[in-house]
Amino acid sequence: MTFSRRARWILGIISAAVLTFIYFPLLVVLVNSFNTSKVFAWPPTSFTTEWWARAATDESVRSALVTSLKAATGAALIAIVLGSMIAFAVARYRFFGREPVSFLVILPIALPGIVTGIALNSSFNTVLVPLGISFGLFTVILGHATFCIVVVFNNVLARLRRTGTSLEEASMDLGAGPFQTFRDVTFPAVRSALVAGALLAFALSFDEIVVTTFTSGPGIETLPQWIFNNLFRPTQGPIINAVAAALLIAFILPVYLAMRMSDGPSQVTQVGAEP
Amino acid sequence: MTQQSTLTVTSPPSGGSSRSVSRFLYRRPRLRLAGLLAAPLLWLVVLYLGSLAIMFVAAFWTTDSYTGALVKQPTLANFQTLFRGEVYWVVAARTVGIALAVTVIDMVLAVPIAFMAAKVVRSRKVRYAMVIAVTMPLWAGYLVKGYAMQTMFINNGVIDWMLAPFGLKGPGLGLAAVTLSLAYLWLPYMVLPVYAGLERLPDSLLEASSDLGASAGHTFRSVVLPLLVPSLVAGSIFTFSLTLGDYIMVKIVGGTTQMWANIIYDNVGIANNLPLAAAAALFPVTVIVLYLLAVRRTGALENL
Amino acid sequence: MLTSRLLKVTVTGVAVVLLAAACGSSSDTSTGASANSTERPAPPAGTAATAVGAGEGTLNLITWPDYADDGTAGTPNTVGPFQTATGCKVNVKVGNSSDEMVTLMKTGQYDGVSASGDASLRLIYGGDVAPVNTDLVPNYKTVSEFLKLKQWNSVNGVAYGIPHGWGANVLAYNSDVVKPAPTSWGAVFDAASPYKGKITAYDSPIYIADAALYLSKTKPDLKITNPYALDDTQFKAAVDLLKTQRPLISSYWASYADEVKAFDAQAAVLGTAWQVNVNAMNADKKVKVSSLVPAEGATGWSDTWMVASKAAHPNCMYKWLDYIVSPKANAGVAEYFGEAPAQTLACKETSDKSFCDTFHALDAAYADSIAYWTTPTKNCLDGRGNICVDYAAWVQAWTEIKG
């Protein structure tokens, strides 16, 4: 449909304003990463690339990055498996408790992170520690996977609802068994939704700080934890800006891929998160 | 003239154990269902709900204030503390107020840009670019954005520097800074469901409305907004829940302000008083769960 | 519908609990110690190590900021020489407050902690730390005598840690803005202060003791002798003072970086600080900050390295104990932080030769004049009985003060 020139202009200006509002603080981060002053003093009096150099060579940044990648991968994998299982169950079957199950899946992401974090911390202390499993990467992955499930669930569910069962039924009418149908018909149809969900789950876990704080242990430091710990040390501030700017640029590609693989922007938008 | 059909009805090849398993499963949909649900439900119910239960049971206990050990005698003492203390009501009201303000601000900011991307922009590339542009900041990291906001709002920070030529001063760290920063942080979570909702809105409705003589504003109010309600509610679930649970942002840009989640955090982290923290945590959990149950009807939960 | 019934049940359940809570009467928990006792009750049993074996290769520590740095960004390399000499890789978790440290120690995941006096006793009585066999720490012999077997690091003659260093919470001020220089804590409590809205205070319930200390000198009829042992009247007076201070505060600092940023941006020009904060502010060269211990005296902290009762790496921990109070290491940390080192021999190792004099490191009388952070308990421990306000109430009062 066509819109009047005036409407286009007004909307355009508002959109531009909102985008400016969104990106201005990020610009501040970028500028500060070159700021010589260590305490984010504004306006910057002089510039340096020292912080970028330090960020690239800093051992703790690298190990934090690796830890985050490991945790995010683990969480995404678990989320893929569990999320798609529930999505299939809810989409293809009618059963008693179907609504509560969908409700339950949403809870970990709808409830505040601090609640999830404290709850998991209490139960890990009560159950895992006496068994000898101490807090560490394992518990972090457990925590992250819990709220990542819903992201995959939403994506796969939406896709399953859209594709419907007719193709699967046709396949089985033609003689394929359930496994073969799944492999050749169902899976290809949901594959891109799975990938989109997994990418989102990965990103969610990567940036998460609150639940991580409560489920992590000594010697484990994810990238957000590293940022958190170093923000308290006045001398490390600008390196964080450099790391953040780098991450921002690095994430453009995965997000774009997630969008291409799914059915376009509306699929990527099945998201939910906590800081 | 009929064609010789090459399609013959054959019985399925009976070889292979996978076939017999398939056949077995095919006849037992309940078993398939159970197989699908077992692992996830085990995870969600045992690990997650179980953990929540353990925590909320602790709300009825107390701690020995000297040693910090849990005293497992059921008591309502924590709830009494929360109900009787005036400061708790003040902080609760403040937190809910901030959450409402943040939600409204985000709705106002999100709708125009989502509408632009979904309905007005012609080119698919530009549309993708706009959505990516709005989503990107999510990956910049919560803490980093928080400290960027601190740089902006702090005394002699960016905002003061920008307003100085006009002789004005920014609000500084405090309630306004917290509200604006939180609105900033959660904006993408409002834009995305609204965008998805607008994408699903058939163009024909808008055309019909304008054919019938409605102005743009009228169309918006009577056609678009009512259909956007599920998306707006979906977005509001996030802005509300994230604000009710936030304790970090307010410490960074809030100056002396405190929000409800600080009470939870201060008691679990600082005072080592898990029971009081758990009791306090019941407040946002109750609010959110009730809100979720209430908005089920609007279909917002599918739009998350 | 199942879930709308669920909704109704939830609402009813919640309402019942709330009503019961609001109408119910409060219960009283009593402590075990006898009323007028000045003696400590016995802590949970724990055994000190008898020998130090080979290092386990790892050490998990909870420390105050800059107590165990690795040399990056201009910090002293405290852990480097230790790791090389003992092979124990050190993982440091920085705690920003005593409360945080207690919580972290309770997880049982750490081998040791640098505890201030308001954490140490809670850890001892919580069974989270074990007695320390000081014979296994050779450098302990030359630690200042006035730090050994004090009420915050020992119980009934049994040592629970090795002293690290001590200092006062100083009054910091921007010397270009705050003129004339303040001489009293009244500067941060004065309701008519010209620096209203630019004052900062420490974001912890223990700060109530600072108010009590000030009142002990300005309102003698309250008869406050120990700012950590306050009966209801004294406590209320301190809390009221802090409530009148609240409008003067720009922000409370919870981590030392917060205060450094606040002063650098001139969002704050006056307030209580640690010397390390002042050092950092001056190093940034944005503002000039001076500090002093005002006429009324000051609260402070005396930190002790304590060993976790279930430490996974006790040998590495004992090696650390000996290392951190060795003259060079102790001097390095103390000088960077701005505190008095516990090790008497450290005074020869500081780069600034007058460092120990400036910080009164060897002055027992000065050390005694500081009101060190201690956990407030119901038992006043001075003969008044169980009438003092305990820490849980301090925490709740702090929430009220912040509003």
Maximum distance among all Cα pairs of chain A, rounded to whole angstroms: 74
Task: Reply yes or no on whether the pLDDT at B298 is more than 90.
Answer: no
Mind giving me the DSSP string for A171-184?
HHHTT--HHHHIII
Task: Reply yes or no on whether the pLDDT at B158 is more than 80.
Answer: yes
Q: Does B295 touch chain A (CB under 8 A)?
A: no
Contact C94 A235 (CB under 8 A): no
Whole-angstrom Cα distance, residue C59 to residue C308? 11
- C-alpha of B49 from chain center: 19
pLDDT for the residue numbered C217:
93
Residue that the structure tokens 């710990």 belong to? A229
Distances (CA, A) of C265 to B144, B152, B186, C253, C363: 19, 11, 27, 14, 36
Q: Does B128 touch chain A (CB under 8 A)?
A: yes
* Per-residue model confidence as pLDDT tens digits over C10-21: 445 545 544 444
Q: Which residues of A touch C96 (CB under 8 A)?
A: 232
Nearest chain B CA: its distance from A112 CA (Å): 5
Distances (CA, A) of C353 to C228, C281, C336: 35, 22, 14
Contact A177 B117 (CB under 8 A): no
pLDDT for the residue numbered C246:
94
Beta bridge partners of C300: C168, C372
pLDDT category, A146, cuts 50, 70, 90?
A: very high
Task: Reply yes or no on whether the pLDDT at C342 is more than 90.
Answer: yes
* Per-residue model confidence as pLDDT tens digits over B244-289: 999 999 888 888 889 999 888 887 765 678 888 899 999 999 999 9
Q: Does B117 touch chain A (CB under 8 A)?
A: yes
C316-323 mean pLDDT? 94
Lowest-pLDDT choice from A249-253, B100-104, B205-209: A249-253
Query: Neighbouring chains of C at 3+ CB pairs within 8 Å?
Result: A, B
pLDDT category, A231, cuts 50, 70, 90?
A: confident
Q: How many residues does chain C have?
A: 403
pLDDT category, C354, cuts 50, 70, 90?
A: confident
Whole-angstrom Cα distance, residue B56 to residue B59? 5
CA quadruple A24, A28, A34, A35: dihedral sign: positive
Beta bridge partners of C168: C300
Residue type, B38: A
Q: Does B58 touch chain C (CB under 8 A)?
A: no
Whole-angstrom Cα distance, residue C268 to residue C251? 8
Could you tell me which chain A residue has the CA closest to the CA of B34? A89
Task: Identify the three-state secondary structure at position C201.
Answer: strand
Q: Does B112 touch chain A (CB under 8 A)?
A: yes
> Residue B34 has which token pair?
């159970």
Distances (CA, A) of B40 to A79, A109, A193: 9, 15, 19
pLDDT for the residue numbered B6:
56
Q: Does C26 touch chain B (CB under 8 A)?
A: yes
Nearest chain B CA: its distance from C314 CA (Å): 23
Task: Reply yes or no on whether the pLDDT at B177 is more than 90.
Answer: yes
Please provide the average confidence, as pLDDT, over all residues in chain B. 83
DSSP structure class, residue C170: E
Tell the burial category of B4 from Cβ atoms under 10 Å away from its Cβ (0-12, 13-18, 19+): exposed
Whole-angstrom Cα distance, residue A91 to residue A78? 20
Between C9 and B30, whose confidence is greater?
B30
Residue from B263, B270, B252, B67 nearest C96 by CA: B270
Lowest-pLDDT choice from A247-256, B228-237, C245-254: A247-256
**Residue ranges of A 20-39 with Cβ closer than 8 A to chain C:** 37-39
pLDDT for the residue numbered A272:
39
Between C61 and C71, whose confidence is greater?
C61
pLDDT for the residue numbered C21:
42
Structural contact between residues B60 and B74, judged by C-beta atoms closer than 8 angstroms: yes
pLDDT for the residue numbered C161:
93
Query: Percent of chain C, pLDDT > 90?
Result: 48
Phi, psi for B172 (deg, rounded to 5): 75, -175
Interface B-C: count of C-beta contacts within 8 A: 132
* Per-residue model confidence as pLDDT tens digits over B83-140: 988 899 999 999 999 999 999 999 999 998 888 888 877 788 888 788 888 877 877 7
Tell the burial category of A132 from Cβ atoms under 10 Å away from its Cβ (0-12, 13-18, 19+): exposed
pLDDT for the residue numbered C20:
45
pLDDT for the residue numbered C139:
92
Structural contact between residues B292 and A110, judged by C-beta atoms closer than 8 angstroms: yes
Residue B20 CB partners (closer than 8 Å, separation 6+): none
Whole-angstrom Cα distance, residue A237 to residue B147? 10
Whole-angstrom Cα distance, residue A224 to residue A213? 9
* Per-residue model confidence as pLDDT tens digits over B46-71: 889 999 998 888 889 888 766 667 88
Contact B44 A149 (CB under 8 A): yes
C156-178 mean pLDDT? 92
Mind giving me the DSSP string for B51-96?
HHHHHHHHTT-EE-TTT--EE----SHHHHHHHH-HHHHHHHHHHH
CB-nearest partner of B155 from C18, C246, C265? C265
Lowest-pLDDT choice from A197-206, B176-185, C210-219: A197-206
pLDDT for the residue numbered C29:
34
Distances (CA, A) of A8 to A5, B112, B190, C361: 5, 11, 22, 73
B146-160 mean pLDDT? 84
What is the β-pairing status of strands C270-273 and C199-202? Answer: parallel
Treating both helix axes as pointing N-terminal to C-terminal, what angle do A187-207 and A59-92 enclose, rounded to 10 degrees? Answer: 140
Query: Percent of chain C, pLDDT > 70?
Result: 90
**Residue ranges of B 94-113 with Cβ closer than 8 A to chain C:** none
Lowest-pLDDT choice from A35-39, C236-240, C262-266: A35-39
Contact C75 A39 (CB under 8 A): no
Lowest-pLDDT choice from A143-157, B137-151, C163-177: B137-151
Could you tell me which chain A residue has the CA closest to the CA of B59? A119
Structural contact between residues C193 and C268, judged by C-beta atoms closer than 8 angstroms: no
pLDDT category, C25, cuts 50, 70, 90?
A: very low
Between B281 and B199, whose confidence is greater?
B281
Residue type, C353: K
A12-40 mean pLDDT? 82
pLDDT for the residue numbered A40:
60
Q: Which residues of C touch A134 (CB under 8 A)?
A: 109
Query: Percent of chain A, pLDDT > 90?
Result: 14
pLDDT for the residue numbered B93:
94
pLDDT for the residue numbered B68:
64
Lowest-pLDDT choice from A107-121, A252-266, C89-103, C207-221: A252-266
Residue B80 CB partners (closer than 8 Å, separation 6+): C21, C22, C24, C26
pLDDT category, C27, cuts 50, 70, 90?
A: very low
Between C2 and C396, whose confidence is greater?
C396
Distances (CA, A) of A238 to A53, B141, B159: 11, 15, 20
Please provide the average confidence, as pLDDT, over all residues in chain A. 82
Whole-angstrom Cα distance, residue B179 to residue B239? 11
* Per-residue model confidence as pLDDT tens digits over A52-100: 888 888 888 888 999 999 999 999 999 999 999 999 888 888 888 888 8
CA quadruple A212, A218, A220, A223: dihedral sign: positive
Backbone dihedral region of B31: left (phi > 0), alpha (psi from -120 to 50 degrees) or beta?
alpha
Between A23 and C18, whose confidence is greater?
A23
> Residue A190 has which token pair?
């949901």
H or E segment to which residue C359 belongs: none
Whole-angstrom Cα distance, residue C246 to residue C231? 22
Whole-angstrom Cα distance, residue B235 to residue B190? 4
* Per-residue model confidence as pLDDT tens digits over C278-310: 988 898 888 999 999 998 889 998 999 999 998
What stretches of chain A show up as alpha helix (H) in DSSP? 5-32, 50-57, 59-92, 98-110, 113-123, 137-163, 166-173, 178-181, 187-207, 210-215, 223-231, 237-261, 265-268
Residue that the structure tokens 């004065």 belong to? C190
Residue C62 CB partners (closer than 8 Å, separation 6+): C92, C93, C94, C95, C101, C104, C105, C110, C112, C113, C114
Whole-angstrom Cα distance, residue C311 to residue B19? 56
Beta bridge partners of C303: C165
Phi, psi for A62 (deg, rounded to 5): -65, -45
Secondary structure E strands in chain B: 62-63, 70-71
Residue that the structure tokens 């998460």 belong to? A208
C102-108 mean pLDDT? 83
Q: Does B156 touch chain C (CB under 8 A)?
A: yes
B137-149 mean pLDDT? 82
Phi, psi for C271 (deg, rounded to 5): 160, 175
B150-156 mean pLDDT? 84
Structural contact between residues A48 and A34, judged by C-beta atoms closer than 8 angstroms: yes
> Residue C146 has which token pair?
């006035």
Nearest chain B CA: its distance from A70 CA (Å): 17
Q: Does B31 touch chain A (CB under 8 A)?
A: no
Nearest chain C CA: its distance from B287 CA (Å): 10
Could you tell me which chain B residue has the CA closest to the CA of A7? B216
* Per-residue model confidence as pLDDT tens digits over C129-149: 999 999 999 999 999 999 999
Question: In 10 A of CB C143, how many CB atoms?
Answer: 22
Q: Does B171 touch chain C (CB under 8 A)?
A: no
B144-162 mean pLDDT? 84
Report how far apart the first and last C-alpha atoms of chain B are (Å, whole number). 56
Whole-angstrom Cα distance, residue B288 to residue C367? 52
A194-216 mean pLDDT? 86
Contact A177 B12 (CB under 8 A): yes
CB-nearest partner of C284 from A39, A58, A135? A39
CA angle at B210 for the pair B206 and B211, rounded to the nearest 5° = 110
pLDDT for the residue numbered C194:
93
pLDDT for the residue numbered C186:
93
pLDDT category, A269, cuts 50, 70, 90?
A: very low
Structural contact between residues B131 and A268, judged by C-beta atoms closer than 8 angstroms: yes
* Predicted model pTM: 0.83
Task: Reply yes or no on whether the pLDDT at C381 is more than 80.
Answer: no
Contact C3 A100 (CB under 8 A): yes
Between C43 and A205, whose confidence is greater?
A205
Residue type, A18: V
Residue A15 CB partners (closer than 8 Å, separation 6+): B112, B113, B116, B117, B130
A10-22 mean pLDDT? 87
